[in-house]
């Protein structure tokens, strides 16, 4: 919320199609940096997102956990706490079906965002600029009957790959999960949905984002985890 290219209507629709015992929001839900930068107004769509969560709580008695990220780090002043019957926390442990998973946003293991916050902020401005440029570019491509191109996705994938190489993001996360005696780690932050096994047999799951990938992670009754796409649930 607050980021100019977030797919807020899509995530709201996604949530209204789901029923779950527990909903974990893995950080960067409210973009405090963008809200500060562009002085965005609280819109009807943003209210609809929160009311979808509240309806879920009422209808299914869903437990809601909000794990803070780097864009909503203004919440770090108050975490851990309970507000509106939602737990705000930096790190959350899931224990289900004999498995332990630690949920964090992941920014603490990204040396670019945790070590050099101003570089990251610059990256954020650049990212939004690229998305804007990509929209204009695609309008022109559409007119000439060409397929849409995700410029920012290509660049971001490249940049994040570099970040991975430099900081060993995933391997640090695996070490962290291991130190927490967990079987796996669940995070977000790098905008790339993933489900794979890392060293020490640690399962690494990334929920992706609601800017481009439009994905979430779901655990079914038997404890099986998978990536669920907006297109699977809403259009499929
Ligand atoms: Mn983040």
pLDDT digits (tens, 9 = 90+) for 172-187: 899 999 999 999 999 9
Q: Would the pLDDT of 136 be above 50?
A: yes
Q: Which residue has the higher pLDDT, 146 or 236?
A: 146
Ligand 1 centre to CA of 71 (Å) is 6
- What is the topology classification, in CATH, of domain 8-235? Purple Acid Phosphatase; chain A, domain 2 (3.60.21)
Q: Note the pLDDT of residue 182.
A: 97
Helix or strand or coil: residue 181? coil
When mean pLDDT is compared across 26-30, 132-136, 149-153, 159-163, the lowest value belongs to: 159-163
Q: Count CB-CB contacts under 10 A for residue 43.
A: 12
Q: Say if residues 109 and 102 touch (Cβ distance below 8 Å).
A: no
Element holding 102 (H helix, E strand): strand 99-103
Ligand 1 centre to CA of 115 (Å) is 13
Q: Count CB-CB contacts under 10 A for residue 52.
A: 18
Domain ranges of the chain: 8-235
**Average pLDDT value for residue range 192-208:** 92
Element holding 228 (H helix, E strand): strand 225-229
Element holding 89 (H helix, E strand): strand 86-89
Ligand 1 centre to CA of 105 (Å) is 7
pTM confidence score: 0.81
Ligand 1 centre to CA of 206 (Å) is 12
Ligand 1 centre to CA of 227 (Å) is 19
Q: Would the pLDDT of 166 be above 50?
A: no
Ligand 1 centre to CA of 107 (Å) is 6
Ligand 1 centre to CA of 214 (Å) is 15
Q: Say if residues 191 and 160 touch (Cβ distance below 8 Å).
A: yes
Place of tokens 């670019």: 112
Q: Note the pLDDT of residue 152.
A: 62
Helix or strand or coil: residue 92? strand
Q: Which of 127, 107, 90, 103 lies closest to 22 in space, CA to CA? A: 103
Ligand 1 centre to CA of 110 (Å) is 9
Ligand 1 centre to CA of 74 (Å) is 13
């Amino acid at each position: 919320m607050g980021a100019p290219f977030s797919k807020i209507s899509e995530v709201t629709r996604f949530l209204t199609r789901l029923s779950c015992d527990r909903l974990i929001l893995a950080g960067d839900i409210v973009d405090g940096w963008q809200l500060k930068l562009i002085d965005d107004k609280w819109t009807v769509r943003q209210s609809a997102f929160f009311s979808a969560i509240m309806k879920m709580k009422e209808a299914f008695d869903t437990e809601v956990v909000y794990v803070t990220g780097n864009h909503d780090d203004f919440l770090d002043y108050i975490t851990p706490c309970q507000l509106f019957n939602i737990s705000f926390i930096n790190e959350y442990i899931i224990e289900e079906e004999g498995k332990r998973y630690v949920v964090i946003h992941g920014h603490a293991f990204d040396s670019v965002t945790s070590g050099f916050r101003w570089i990251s902020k610059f990256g954020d401005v650049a990212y939004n600029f690229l998305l804007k440029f990509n929209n204009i570019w695609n309008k022109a491509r559409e007119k000439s009957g060409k397929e849409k191109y995700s410029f920012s996705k290509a660049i971001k994938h490249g940049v994040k790959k570099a970040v991975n190489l430099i900081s060993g993001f995933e391997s640090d996360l695996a070490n962290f999960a291991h130190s927490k005696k967990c079987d796996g780690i669940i995070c977000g932050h790098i905008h790339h949905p993933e489900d794979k096994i890392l060293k020490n047999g640690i399962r690494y799951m990334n929920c992706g984002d609601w800017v481009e990938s439009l994905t979430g992670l779901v655990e079914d009754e038997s404890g099986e985890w998978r990536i669920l796409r907006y297109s699977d649930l809403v259009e499929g």
